A and B are shown apart, each in its own frame.
Chain A
Amino acid sequence: MNRRSSWAIPYFIFMLIFVVLPLVMIMLYAFKDSNGSFSFSNIATFFQQKEAVNTLIYSIEIAIITTLLCLVIGYPAAYILSRKDLNRSAVTIVLFIMPMWINILVRTLATVALFDFGKIPLGEGALIFGMVYNFLPYMVYPIYNTLNKLDNSYVEAAQDLGANPIQQFVRVIIPLSKPGISSGVLMVFMPTISTFAISELLTMNKVKLFGTTIQENINNGLWNYGSALSLIMLVLIGVTTLLSYSGKGDEQSAGGLL
């Protein structure tokens, strides 16, 4: 082994202990029953329990709504930030990114306090608000990145060929910023589908998300069933990631974060 590749050893060990080993453990636990023998019973139990399946579907719904809201709010924001004629200072970009500097739990607790202060009841609405608020920067930043690097000559070429501002936007700017969009969508969708802290705090435990279900099972000592649920979620996230990658194709993915 040469000198350079030996530099990778610490990372390799780290990955082994903290990424590969836990994954293997989840797999092992998920396919074992309480007696320790191999079985599919945990997975089967999940699909038989209507409540758990409904929670998963509900979590996906909330994640999709959050992601779409982030996209609808985040894209125009990123567009404005990237336009030199509309935004001349880097300060506005920092302001958009700054919430990321503060711990997610602290931010959520502050949101709860705000809602209390305004006498707004906590619940589903508060949950979606909190999620959008927390994850918006993850949508804005990758889109801003691609738009910022987008060669203005493409927009000029579209104008030159007769595209009005709306047509330029729909036919050139949006398609060319796709890598940023898919990065942003992934970075918002993945954490929102598995979150439990935000939902607990912002709904006073009234609304249950899939993350909460997993956490409850593990806390109650049902390690095998909890692992099976984690595995299902992992597969779900894996499939979404793969889908968004194939959508990206071999086009220039400049500026995307993933």
Chain B
Amino acid sequence: MKENCIIKIENICKNYDGVQVLDNINLEIQKGEFVTILGPSGCGKTTLLRILSGFVKADSGKIILEGEEISNVPPYKRNLNTVFQKYALFPHLDVYDNVAFGLKLKKMPVDEIDKKVSKALKMVTMSDYEDRDVNSLSGGQQQRVAIARALVNRPQILLLDEPLSALDLKMRKDMQLELKEMHKKLGITFIYVTHDQEEALTLSDTIVVMNYGKIQQIGTPTDIYNEPQNSFVADFIGESNILDATMVRDREVNFVGHTFECVDEGFGENVPVDVVIRPEDIYMTSKIESAQISAVVKSSIFKGVHYEMFVETENGYELMIQDYNSFEIGSEVGLIIKPCDIQVMRKERTCNEFEGEIVDSTTVEFLGAEFEIAETDLEPGTKVRVEIDFDKVDLLDDKDDGAFTGVVNFILYKGNHYHLTIINEDRECIYANTNDVWDKSDMVGVKILPQDIRIFKAEGDE
């Protein structure tokens, strides 16, 4: 495989005003692959693409294109072309001159330019538009010209920065198919950036899921969908039930009060884990005695192909289920989950951990705020490690009542509670479990009671 690698990204880091946008990114892309970098806005995907095209310089790390380091090569000397998000077609040139721009710079003979431009325009079915002013074209047509303008230069890699985000749904679907077709025909490596998980699943050979400047998972669309490596990926791609669970022993996992058989091994015994079950992988039956657990149907919505139902288990967990048959609301049903449909994931964390410093015998400072604690005999100024359980973090409507304020950044529903990621001004995270409903980007006050803050003297500190 090694000789097939066209571009290699090594330890790329990038800071903007002290915010880590890219944190040690490593990626290898094979020749002819269709790779999608997928993530929510602000995850660093566009910055990574701009580092590849050369518009942004990484703080550290290397980019190696076909065995040659290009980290310091200016964009105009890189054999890569970009399809920009807003197309960036030159308004002072017509369609023909836009497409011919790159070829003219290469001082190619006129008849050859002519041939290549009309071939490129034919490929994107824009042959009749050569003399048109680019401002008179529709969004979809501009997009086609932008693709032709990039591809006509025969780049080693085509970079696409959310190229379809400005188009309406129908047009987007058509263009997706056409892009995939073009990729197959030309054999050029495509690197595609998007926040649309469906687009990523449709188009890609390989998906790179990013969040908070880090790669969360790399894999084929089926891998990413069926075997997400963490709760972020599971939640971001498709619909899913993500639940707290305990790995009892190899091939046995306990959640929603029942021990299920599963196929995962090597987690250890009685280890807290997360499980992901896709809504279409839970089977419903009216024969409760033959099922693994029982539940009551709470809601049912017809979605065309299937019904989307929410059920509540005996011990209060809510699950989403997609089934071809509808079950009456209020009826009791039995649920069956096959061992291979349970995806077990290691928990990224089991409690909040921070580095802090003792201020005085009843105060500790961490996350840029001061908290009251139970009396300690540690000297002021001692560096400490602070632990707080997720469910001991109180979130308050009134920002002034908390020790500090933060913004709800990510919400994960875990069947019977929400797991929230709250970010403070310095982009540090605190995680909280709550039963209250918050919305993304709500401002919250964070309060922690003195007895819930566990303090340990930091190791290796005098």
CB proximity of A232 to chain B, nearest CB, Å? 35
In the complex, the answer to whether A176 meets B86 with C-beta atoms within 8 Å is: no
Binds A, one of B87-95, B202-210, B276-284, B354-362: B87-95
Task: Say whether, besides A162-B102, A162-B153, A164-B76, A157 and B88 are in contact (CB < 8 Å).
Answer: yes
Q: Which residues of A contact B90 (CB under 8 A)?
A: 154, 157-158, 172, 175-176
Task: Say whether, besides A154-B90, A172-B90, A159 and B84 are in contact (CB < 8 Å).
Answer: no
Q: Which residues of B contact A251 (CB under 8 A)?
A: 91-92
Closest chain A residue, CB of each to CB of B106 = A162
CA distance A154 to B87 in the complex (A): 9
In the complex, the answer to whether B101 meets A161 with C-beta atoms within 8 Å is: yes
With beta carbons under 8 angstroms apart, the residue of A153, A159, A175 that contacts B75 is: A159
CB proximity of B218 to chain A, nearest CB, Å? 26
With beta carbons under 8 angstroms apart, the residue of B55, B89, B91 that contacts A159 is: B55
CA distance A4 to B332 in the complex (A): 70
In the complex, the answer to whether B55 meets A161 with C-beta atoms within 8 Å is: no
With an 8 A cutoff between CB atoms, is B53 at the interface? yes
Q: Which residues of B contact A233 (CB under 8 A)?
A: none
With an 8 A cutoff between CB atoms, is B74 at the interface? yes
In the complex, the answer to whether B84 meets A167 with C-beta atoms within 8 Å is: no
Q: Which residues of B contact A171 (CB under 8 A)?
A: 101, 105
Q: List 14 A-B pairs, Cβ < 8 Å.
A: A154-B88, A154-B91, A157-B82, A157-B88, A158-B101, A159-B55, A159-B76, A160-B53, A160-B76, A162-B76, A162-B77, A168-B76, A175-B92, A178-B92
Closest chain A residue, CB of each to CB of B104 = A171
With an 8 A cutoff between CB atoms, is A216 at the interface? no
In the complex, the answer to whether A252 meets B91 with C-beta atoms within 8 Å is: yes
With an 8 A cutoff between CB atoms, is B405 at the interface? no
In the complex, the answer to whether A156 meets B84 with C-beta atoms within 8 Å is: yes
In the complex, the answer to whether B74 meets A159 with C-beta atoms within 8 Å is: yes
CA distance A158 to B104 in the complex (A): 12
With an 8 A cutoff between CB atoms, is B45 at the interface? no
CA distance A151 to B85 in the complex (A): 13
Q: Which residues of B contact A175 (CB under 8 A)?
A: 90, 92
Band of interface residues on A: 20 to 34
With an 8 A cutoff between CB atoms, is B81 at the interface? yes
With an 8 A cutoff between CB atoms, is B383 at the interface? no
Q: Which residues of A contact B74 (CB under 8 A)?
A: 159
Q: Which residues of A contact B91 (CB under 8 A)?
A: 154, 176, 251-252
With an 8 A cutoff between CB atoms, is A163 at the interface? yes
CA distance A158 to B149 in the complex (A): 11
CB proximity of B169 to chain A, nearest CB, Å? 25
- CB-CB contacts below 8 Å: B33-84 with A: 53-55, 74-77, 80-82, 84
In the complex, the answer to whether B76 meets A163 with C-beta atoms within 8 Å is: yes
In the complex, which of the residues A159, A160, A163, A167 has the most CB atoms of chain B within 10 Å of its own CB atom? A160
Query: Mask for A227-238, Cβ within 8 A of B = 1, else 0?
Result: 000000000000
Q: Which residues of B contact A172 (CB under 8 A)?
A: 90
In the complex, the answer to whether A160 meets B75 with C-beta atoms within 8 Å is: yes
Known: A151-B88, A156-B75. 14 other contacts (CB 8 A): A153-B86, A156-B84, A157-B82, A158-B101, A160-B80, A161-B149, A161-B150, A161-B153, A163-B101, A167-B105, A171-B105, A176-B92, A251-B91, A251-B92
CB proximity of B440 to chain A, nearest CB, Å? 29
In the complex, the answer to whether A160 meets B86 with C-beta atoms within 8 Å is: no
CB proximity of A161 to chain B, nearest CB, Å? 4
Q: Which residues of A contact B54 (CB under 8 A)?
A: 159
Q: Which residues of A contact B101 (CB under 8 A)?
A: 158, 161, 163, 171
Q: Which residues of B contact A157 (CB under 8 A)?
A: 82, 84, 88-90
Closest chain B residue, CB of each to CB of A164 = B76
